[in-house]
Amino acid sequence: MILLVLLRAIIGPTIIDRLISINAITSKVSIIILLMAFAREEYGFVDVAFVFMLCAFVGGLWILKVVTPGDWQLRIPGLKGFEGDGFEGGKLGADKLEGGRLKANKPEDSGFKGDEHEEERLEIEDLEGDKLKGDREEGNLLD
Amino acid sequence: MIKIIAGICFFGSLLAFGLGTLGLYRFPDPYTRMHALGMGDTIGVGLVGLGLFLLSHSWILRIKLVVIILLFWMINPTMTHLVAKAGLIHGIQPIKNTKLRRDE
């Protein structure tokens, strides 16, 4: 049965088939570890199954994090996200996401224009920091 | 007697896993496949846990089994939901004549 699910993971036409197949494989492997622990009467393997299940969950979450476009996508410079797939139509209710998650693509576009302003902001912050230092050195030490 | 009941539970879990895998092959759509696999895994893990709960002979082992089952029943639907949401964001189309609920 694991081999059948693995075959679906190999031939799966979309990415979510593969993800859910990997999830099912890990759950089945966890169950097999449990059964082997009871069959061989080595009950320490129950903890092994528990930790294996938790690690599989965290691994699946990380894969979803990398794959899903949004605020938490990895910022790779050559990779422009997945906006060519299904975003332009908004057929699936994905247009609601433009306010929240999909803003992540916009700062990369306006990144080059904002460099000068960033330098100015840095200078202003330095001036303010000097003023604060001056205040501290001059007057407020007695307080 | 307890062993017979545990055997019935194991057989039911095998049936549930088999039906989940069959659904993984027979359904036409990634979302329906995901649904079948999630249901089969959840029921199968619950039945295996019930059988091992009946077979175990110390309380610490039973507590560990109950914790594993409850955690799995929280983890697996969460994972299925997140994968389905990622699929919708990617723009993977469901099968025709699907009514998607739109959040107003």
Instruction: Output the six-digit token pair for A7.
Output: 């075959």
Residue B48 belongs to some domain of the structure: yes
Provide the mean pLDDT of chain B. 85
Provide the mean pLDDT of chain A. 65
Q: What is the pLDDT of residue A99?
A: 42
Is the confidence at residue A78, as pLDDT, over 50? no
Please state the separation of Cα A87 from the chain's center in Å: 19
Residue B13 belongs to some domain of the structure: yes
Q: In this structure, which amino acid lies at residue B16? A: A
Tens of pLDDT along B34-92? 888 888 889 999 999 999 999 888 899 999 999 999 999 999 998 888 888 888 777 77
Residue B30 belongs to some domain of the structure: yes
B45: helix, strand or coil = helix
Any B CB within 8 A of A94 CB: yes
Residue B20 belongs to some domain of the structure: yes
Tens of pLDDT along A98-139? 444 444 444 444 444 444 455 555 555 555 555 555 555 555
B83: helix, strand or coil = helix
**Across the interface, which of B41, B58, B87 has its CB nearest the CB of A14?**
B87
CB–CB contact B75 A43 (8 Å):
no
Q: What is the C-alpha to C-alpha distance for residues B88 and A14, in angstroms, rounded to an integer?
A: 12
Q: What is the C-alpha to C-alpha distance for residues A17 and B33, in angstroms, rounded to an integer?
A: 8
Residue B101 belongs to some domain of the structure: no
Which structural domain range is residue B34 located in?
2-90
Q: What is the pLDDT of residue A51?
A: 92
ipTM greater than cut 0.90: no
Residue B104 belongs to some domain of the structure: no
Q: What is the DSSP letter of A94?
A: G
Residue B98 belongs to some domain of the structure: no
Looking at beta carbons, which pairs linking B88-91 to residues 24 or more positions away fall under 8 Å? B88/A92, B88/A93, B88/A94, B89/A68, B89/A69, B89/A70, B89/A86, B89/A94, B89/A97, B90/A15, B90/A16, B90/A67, B90/A68, B90/A69, B90/A82, B90/A85, B90/A86, B91/A82, B91/A85, B91/A86, B91/A87, B91/A92, B91/A94
Residues 53-72 in B contacting A (C-alpha not used; CB under 8 Å): 55-56, 58, 61, 64-65, 67-68, 71-72
CB–CB contact A5 B87 (8 Å):
no
Confidence of residue A143 (pLDDT cuts 50, 70, 90): very low
Give the count of domains, chain B.
1
Give me the half-sphere count of Cα atoms (radius 13 Å) on the Cβ side of residue A50: 15
Residue B59 belongs to some domain of the structure: yes
